[in-house]
Copies of this chain bind each other. A is one copy, B any other.
Amino acid sequence: MKLYQSIAEKIRERIEQGYYQVNEKLPSIRTLSQEHDVSVSTAQQALLFLEKEHWIEVRAKSGSYVKAQLAAAEMPQPCRPAQYPLKVSQWKEVRALRSLYKGHSDDFLYLSSGMSDIDAPTLKPLLKIMSHLTIREGVRCLTPDTLQGAVELREQIARLALDGGTRLHPDDIITTTGCQEALAISLQALTKAGDVVAVESPGFYGLMQILKALDLQALEIPAHADDGMSLDALEMALDQWPIKAILVIPTENNPLGSTMPDENKVRLLKMTQRYNTPIIEDDIYGDLRYKQPRPRTLHSFDTEGRVILCSSFSKTMSAALRIGWVAPGRYKERIEHMKYIGTANTTTLTQLAIAEFIKQGYYERHVRTVRQQYRLNRDQLTHMLQTYFPKGTRISAPRGAYILWIELPGDVDTLLLNKRLVQHKIQIAPGVIFSASGKYRNCLRINYARPVPKSAVLAISQEAKELLAESLMPQ
């Protein structure tokens, strides 16, 4: 973060805390520069930046004034509790979305993806490290690792996990081919075909598809964009159904951006104790919380080894590396077996490279930088959506990571919207794939890891408005 940005950040915090009120005049540039002990031009840059970000307005011959914020958009509404467990469908839709993607040579704007910003300059040292490792370590890079994975990496993972309050010994960790494998082998270890699994609704579609592939039934528990899974609904479900596992993304939920408060984590563990229900915690976005310290993991409250913690470097670094991990707790032997039969060991080179990247301090610098960038992107995108999207649009308010969940008003079908967006070379993630039962047809998920161009927001908005108008026309 540049100096002027950190000054802007301090002023922005004062506005948010009400220290500077709406319509109040800010101190002069000279006063600000003295107060923050920076040059006049830095103070000026800070104000220009705040103006661009819609926090202040500059009135000619007068000064800078705190701008009235758009009223915070309302958050998307939780769905009604599920009546019964369901088989997951929507593979066709997921497949169609993935099939369109042509890889690196593509000129589409995939707002639909879960991809991190792989162009971030702070990620560049990783390429150098990989290049050096192949020369320095030589044959070591060609040596298959143990089933648990490279100990160098497991040591670093254990160290980083402390940020979320998670205490792990390197031996408590198995590295995996991305978080997807961690989730899949955990579910395979805990369930058999036909079993009922509780999931958040809306829920990450990659996870929904695991349920489909393993022939499991999804019990959709409503989740709120603020605090996540409804524990009242879950409690009722636990009494009613033989739930074999609970899947939850407590921190920076995908797609909702919600975070489960600590007291809910404690309650969740307590209410599942009676049934001895295993919980799979996906913490893949946890390290991307804008404000530090990040929230504690559910795992950190668990004293029974009943929470299986899954994560990866796909969101913090790059999904092309295919390195994730699982802390399997008391289910270690079964999960290790599933890892063995699924892929045996994990790629050696990318494991060693990530370990080195963390060890040399690049990881902490990198996530610190992208967190700031993602927060700026969120603010810009939210502002554009509030300005240009149809009236009545509801928007999530993530406090980390880079995905936004949007609920359009009326009967707009986002599958249809996506078809129309092909001509604009834009794709969003349609809401329906986040549900086992075809819910969220009027919702969409947008990735803002890179700043979303205004032209894209306008294109989506225009198509959405047309669909909305068509839906209101008499049949």
Contacts and interface: CB of A to CB of B under 8 A. Distances in A.
**In terms of DSSP, what is the predominant structure of the interface of chain A?**
helix
Given A134-B131, A147-B98, A349 B350 contact: yes
Contacts of A150: 103
A141 B150 CA distance: 21
Contacts of A333: 95
Contacts of A346: 322
Contacts of A95: 333, 336-337, 340
A145 B320 contact: yes
Nearest to A151: B103
A140 interface: yes
Contact of A349 (B98, B144, B320, B341): B320
For the side of the interface on A, what is the size category?
Answer: 35 or more
B342 A184 contact: yes
Contacts of A102: 146
A75 to B, nearest CB: 29
A135 interface: yes
Contact of A320 (B91, B135, B142): B142
Q: Which of A98, A138, A209, A345 has the most CB of B within 10 A?
A: A345
B145 A103 contact: yes
Contact of A118 (B142, B177, B181, B322): B142
19 contacts: A118-B142, A128-B135, A130-B131, A142-B317, A142-B318, A142-B320, A177-B177, A177-B322, A180-B341, A180-B344, A181-B343, A210-B341, A212-B341, A213-B338, A213-B341, A214-B341, A319-B345, A322-B347, A342-B342
Given A99-B147, A131-B135, 10 more contacts: A98-B146, A104-B143, A134-B134, A142-B318, A143-B320, A193-B193, A320-B345, A322-B343, A347-B350, A349-B350
